[in-house]
Chains A and B, each alone.
Chain A
Amino acid sequence: KAGVTQTPRYLIKTRGQQVTLSCSPISGHRSVSWYQQTPGQGLQFLFEYFSETQRNKGNFPGRFSGRQFSNSRSEMNVSTLELGDSALYLCASSYIAGESTDTQYFGPGTRLTVL
């Protein structure tokens, strides 16, 4: 079974621009979560989508947004980029069974550099 895929793998943008990152979950997985990883803050939760609905959101400004499509693929968008947005953005998918929180499997990530 193919793993989580993310595109693009690397991205260079300048301050003030916006960026869209894409994530395709493992086949059959319906939940997609996004995380930001930086050397200073570590891995931080951005948001989670399930059935095209954002169920949970982390403590990030409104410049960070996302969506999920009917095929469970997800995109996240960052508008008005700042230097501090340079990070590895990770997507994780999980198969939701009942009320349990199932294991999250991570994609390879998108390395975003803001100049």
Chain B
Amino acid sequence: GAVVSQHPSRVICKSGTSVKIECRSLDFQATTMFWYRQFPKQSLMLMATSNEGSKATYEQGVEKDKFLINHASLTLSTLTVTSAHPEDSSFYICSARDRGGAMGEAFFGQGTRLTVV
């Protein structure tokens, strides 16, 4: 199946700094990528939908100035957590759907464990 690579897998940063997470589709083109946040023992919460060449669409309650999303190419989307605080510590997962493939399946990155100290 298609591969989505997410980097880094773990990151620890100091409060007040910014962290960038990359999501790449390695062998397919993804017009749309999704960013999720997952708290311990909970389901995935959609944060935003990232569209190549245009602004991301954020879900209600997600601060767009804090979680900056850039989708500069058909294979790369980035999520930047700006001025991180301890409450931003979480597991972040991206996913992408193959624009040229069969409809349906989404492919997920391996996730990024962010810890803000």
Q: A and B: partners?
A: no
Q: Chain A residues in contact with chain B, CB under 8 A?
A: none
Q: Chain B residues in contact with chain A, CB under 8 A?
A: none
